[in-house]
Amino acid sequence: MKSAILILIILSSNLFAQLPDLTVPTGGFSPTTIARGNLLTIAATVKNSGIGNSTQSHLSFYLSGTTNISNGVCIGCVSVEPLAGGASSELKQITVPIPPSLSAGPYYVGWIVDPYNEVVESNENNIFSSPNSLTITSTLVFTRHIPYPIIFIHGLASNDTTWNTFFTQLNLFGWSFGGRMDYCLNYDGNLSTSLLTADIHDFTVQSTLNIGDYYTVNFDVDPNGTIYNNSNDNIESNQSAVVKQGKAMQSAIKHVLDKTGADKVILVGHSMGGLASREYLQNSSNWQPDSKHHVAKLLTIGTPHGGSDERTFGGLLPGIDGYSEAVRDLRTTYLTNGDSGVYLFGGNENNLSTIGFHNIDVNCNGYISDNIVGLNQKNLPNDLMYSCVIGSWDVTGTGDGLVTTSSANLNNYYAINADTFLVNAFHTVLPKQITTNLEGLDEPTNPNQAYRVGTDTLYFGLITTQSRADSITLDIDEYFINLSANSLLNIRVNNVSVPKLAVVIADSMYTTMLVTSSNTLCQVDTSILLSSGKYYLEVAAQPTSYSWMFPYSFILHSTPITGVENNVPTVVEGFRLMQNFPNPFNPSTNISFHIPSKSYVSLEIFDILGREVTKLVSGEMEAGDHSVTWDASAMSTGTYFYRFQSGNFVDTKKLALIK
Is 338 within a domain?
A: no
Question: pLDDT grade, residue 230 (50/70/90)?
Answer: low
Q: Assess whether 287 and 393 both reside in one domain.
A: yes
Q: Assess whether 173 and 308 both reside in one domain.
A: yes
Question: pLDDT grade, residue 339 (50/70/90)?
Answer: confident
Distance of CA 430 to the CA centre of its chain: 19
In the chain, the number of structural domains is 4
Q: Assess whether 284 and 313 both reside in one domain.
A: yes
Q: Assess whether 48 and 133 both reside in one domain.
A: yes
Packing angle, helices 242-260 and 272-281, rounded to 10: 70
Q: Assess whether 84 and 64 both reside in one domain.
A: yes
Q: Assess whether 551 and 406 both reside in one domain.
A: no
Examine the pLDDT at 312 and tell me if it is beyond 80.
no
Q: What was the pLDDT predicted at 650?
A: 80
Rounded Cα gap, residues 503 and 516, in angstroms = 5
Q: Which residues of 494-505 are buried (b: 16+ CB within 10 A; e: fewer)?
A: bbbbbbebbbbb
Contact 40, 109 (CB under 8 A): no
Is 329 within a domain?
A: no
Q: Which of 295-299, 393-397, 478-482, 492-496 shows the lowest per-residue confidence on average (mean pLDDT)? A: 393-397
Q: Assess whether 651 and 539 both reside in one domain.
A: no
Rounded Cα gap, residues 633 and 291, in angstroms = 55
Domain that holds residue 402: 150-318+380-440
Q: What was the pLDDT predicted at 256?
A: 98
Question: pLDDT grade, residue 353 (50/70/90)?
Answer: confident
**pLDDT tens by residue, 511-569:** 999 999 998 999 999 988 899 999 999 999 999 999 999 999 999 999 887 644 444 44
Is 337 within a domain?
A: no
Question: pLDDT grade, residue 470 (50/70/90)?
Answer: low
CA neighbours closer than 13 Å in the CB half-sphere of residue 425 = 18
Largest CA distance in the chain: 100
3-state secondary structure labels for all residues of 121-171? CCCCCCEEEEEEEEEEEEEECCCCCCCCCEEEECCCCCCHHHHHHHHHHHH
Q: Which of 396, 420, 440 is the last residue of a domain?
A: 440
Q: What was the pLDDT predicted at 570?
A: 43
CATH at residue 234: 3.40.50.1820
Pairing of strands 419-423, 385-391: parallel
Rounded Cα gap, residues 89 and 604, in angstroms = 26
Rounded Cα gap, residues 111 and 125, in angstroms = 11
**What stretch of H or E contains 76?**
strand 73-80
Question: Own/partner pairs for 378-382, CB < 8 Å, 24+ apart?
Answer: 378/282, 378/283, 379/282, 380/278, 380/281, 380/282, 380/414, 380/416, 381/281, 381/282, 381/293, 381/295, 382/416
Examine the pLDDT at 313 and tell me if it is beyond 70.
no
Backbone CA torsion sign across 464, 469, 471, 477: negative
Question: pLDDT grade, residue 649 (50/70/90)?
Answer: confident
**pLDDT tens by residue, 82-139:** 999 999 999 999 999 999 999 999 999 999 999 999 999 999 999 999 999 999 999 9
3-class SS of residue 6: helix
Q: Which of 94-103, 258-267, 379-388, 515-524 shows the lowest per-residue confidence on average (mean pLDDT)? A: 515-524
Q: Assess whether 583 and 552 both reside in one domain.
A: no
Examine the pLDDT at 316 and tell me if it is beyond 80.
no
Q: What was the pLDDT predicted at 303?
A: 98
What integer best gives the mean pLDDT of the chain? 91
CATH at residue 36: 2.60.40.10
Question: pLDDT grade, residue 397 (50/70/90)?
Answer: confident
Q: Which of 107, 140, 173 is the last residue of a domain?
A: 140
Is 361 within a domain?
A: no
Is 522 within a domain?
A: yes
Q: Assess whether 131 and 52 both reside in one domain.
A: yes
Rounded Cα gap, residues 330 and 340, in angstroms = 11
CATH at residue 521: 2.60.120.380
**pLDDT tens by residue, 571-599:** 445 788 888 888 888 899 999 898 888 88
Q: What was the pLDDT predicted at 651?
A: 82
Is 597 within a domain?
A: yes
Rounded Cα gap, residues 553 and 496, in angstroms = 8
Backbone CA torsion sign across 398, 401, 406, 410: negative
**pLDDT tens by residue, 159-206:** 999 999 999 999 999 999 999 999 999 999 999 999 998 999 999 999
Put simply, whether the predicted model's pTM sits higher than 0.75 gets the answer yes
Q: Which of 140, 158, 186 is the last residue of a domain?
A: 140
Q: Assess whether 122 and 219 both reside in one domain.
A: no
Rounded Cα gap, residues 622 and 161, in angstroms = 66
Examine the pLDDT at 379 and tell me if it is beyond 80.
yes
455 vs 337, 459, 476, 480, 481, CA distance in Å?
59, 10, 21, 11, 8
Q: Assess whether 457 and 555 both reside in one domain.
A: yes
Pairing of strands 177-184, 214-218: parallel
CATH at residue 638: 2.60.40.2550
Is 74 within a domain?
A: yes
Contacts of 571 (CB under 8 A, 6+ apart): none
Q: Assess whether 172 and 192 both reside in one domain.
A: yes
- Which residue, 125, 107, 119, is CA-closest to 54? 119
Examine the pLDDT at 13 and tell me if it is beyond 50.
no
- Which residue, 635, 532, 617, is CA-closest to 577? 617
CA neighbours closer than 13 Å in the CB half-sphere of residue 417 = 10
Distance of CA 18 to the CA centre of its chain: 42
Rounded Cα gap, residues 247 and 279, in angstroms = 8
Average pLDDT over residues 487-510: 93
Q: What angle do CA 211, 179, 234 make, to 5 degrees?
A: 150
Query: What ranges make up the beta strands (E) of 380-500?
Result: 385-391, 419-423, 451-452, 459-461, 475-483, 487-494
Is 187 within a domain?
A: yes
Enter the DSSP assignment of 636: P
Q: Percent of the chain beyond pLDDT 90? A: 74
> CA-CA-CA-CA torsion for 403, 229, 222, 327, nearest 10 degrees?
20
